[in-house]
Amino acid sequence: MQNGLPAVLHSGKSDINPLQPVVSSAMRNLKHLMKALFSMAKKRVALVTGASSGIGEASGHKLLAAGFKVYGTSRRGAQAGKHPFPLLALDVTDDASVEAAIEELLRLEGRIDVLVNNAGFGVAPAAAEESSVEQAKHIFDTNFLGIVRLSRAVIPHMRRQGSGRIINIGSILGIVPLPYVALYAASKHAVEGYTGALDHELRTQGIRVSVIEPAYMKTQFEANNIEADAKLQEYDQIRAKLTKVVSKAMAEAESPEVVADVVVKAAQTLRPKVRYTAGRLAGQLNFILRFAPASFLDNVVRKSLQLDAKKINEE
């Protein structure tokens, strides 16, 4: 003992100093924190895909109001109409288009702090077997692989900055899958898994990844749904009935600003969560999933979609 301390602390051999790992970890965390604070002192740059309408457009407006320098994307670019932020041309299914859009953003701003992966589409209510494998590939290429492409394109730049946020717009259907939207639900379930894994991988590099899970929102999303490409007569009645159920739900849905508020929260908070629900219905379904018996949720799903009602003209 020297001065009341173990001799090992006076040996000068840092490799056997038991405090060294703690000090090294603290220094790394401090380094990331300083980089993050330096980045926040600047006007942060946000890129929102699918920003010409709906949740993407609302998110762009909210981020702009929160002080971000916002760029949106659309397949038609600036031709998609007037917005308070510039729109870059981007097709999330095309590797070259993704690379070109990110290069253009970096040329203009030199950095990217927030990526909101919002671009996607759905399929009108139909049975899972009514979509071909090719249609399934098309859905995943946009809804899931589009997120993978954009994330891979921005991660190296965020890593060099020592900070960044990737916010993926998922769906409550990614954790509470409903029938007759099986492929859409599956694509959003993939987003859930990818988000959780990616956040673990990047957290120590100063980058956080979150997914936002809305339910029905009052947008033009449903109007842009594609029809199943292999329809079967066996499902004609249920398709017609579910189209009415979904139309009613959309008429009563909340505004996309509800989701946009959560986007801003995930972008600004110092300790973002991996998963956020957005809106009343999504919150209710998430609560039931977490705390109620599985049979209760099963009954809620079937009753809300009137799946066990008697067939039309059955009697």
Q: Is the pLDDT of residue 114 over 80?
A: yes
- Average the pLDDT over 122-146 and give the result: 96
What is the band of 136 on the pLDDT scale with cuts at 50, 70, 90? Answer: very high
State the Cα–Cα distance between residues 127 and 114, nearest whole angstrom: 36
- pLDDT at position 23 is 67
Asked if residues 123 and 139 have their Cβ atoms less than 8 Å apart, the reply is: yes
- Which CA distances in Å does 236 have to 32, 47, 108, 150, 188? 56, 41, 51, 38, 26
Residue of higher predicted confidence among 63 and 304:
63
Q: Is the pLDDT of residue 107 over 70?
A: yes
- pLDDT at position 209 is 98
Can you give the pTM of this predicted structure?
0.83
- pLDDT at position 122 is 87
Residue 2 exposure: Cα atoms within 13 Å on the Cβ side:
5
State the Cα–Cα distance between residues 248 and 299, nearest whole angstrom: 20
Q: What is the pLDDT of residues 19-54, one digit of tens each?
A: 676 667 667 767 666 655 555 557 899 999 999 999
- Which residues are known catalytic residues? 184
Residue 181 exposure: Cα atoms within 13 Å on the Cβ side:
27
Q: What is the pLDDT of residues 178-226, one digit of tens each?
A: 999 999 999 999 999 999 999 999 999 999 999 999 998 887 666 678 9
Best CA proximity match to 169, nearest among 102, 223, 122, 232: 122
- pLDDT at position 219 is 76
Find the angle CA(222)-CA(228)-CA(233) to the nearest 5 degrees: 120
Best CA proximity match to 114, nearest among 167, 161, 152: 167
Sketch the domain layout of the chain as residue ranges.
22-304
User: Which CATH number applies to 22-304: 3.40.50.300, 1.10.10.60, 3.40.50.720, 3.10.290.10?
Assistant: 3.40.50.720
What is the band of 113 on the pLDDT scale with cuts at 50, 70, 90? Answer: very high
Q: Is the pLDDT of residue 314 over 70?
A: no
Contacts of 13 (CB under 8 A, 6+ apart): none
The chain-wide mean pLDDT, for the chain, equals 88
Three-state SS at 151: helix
Asked if residues 171 and 214 have their Cβ atoms less than 8 Å apart, the reply is: yes
Q: Is the pLDDT of residue 111 over 80?
A: yes
- pLDDT at position 77 is 75
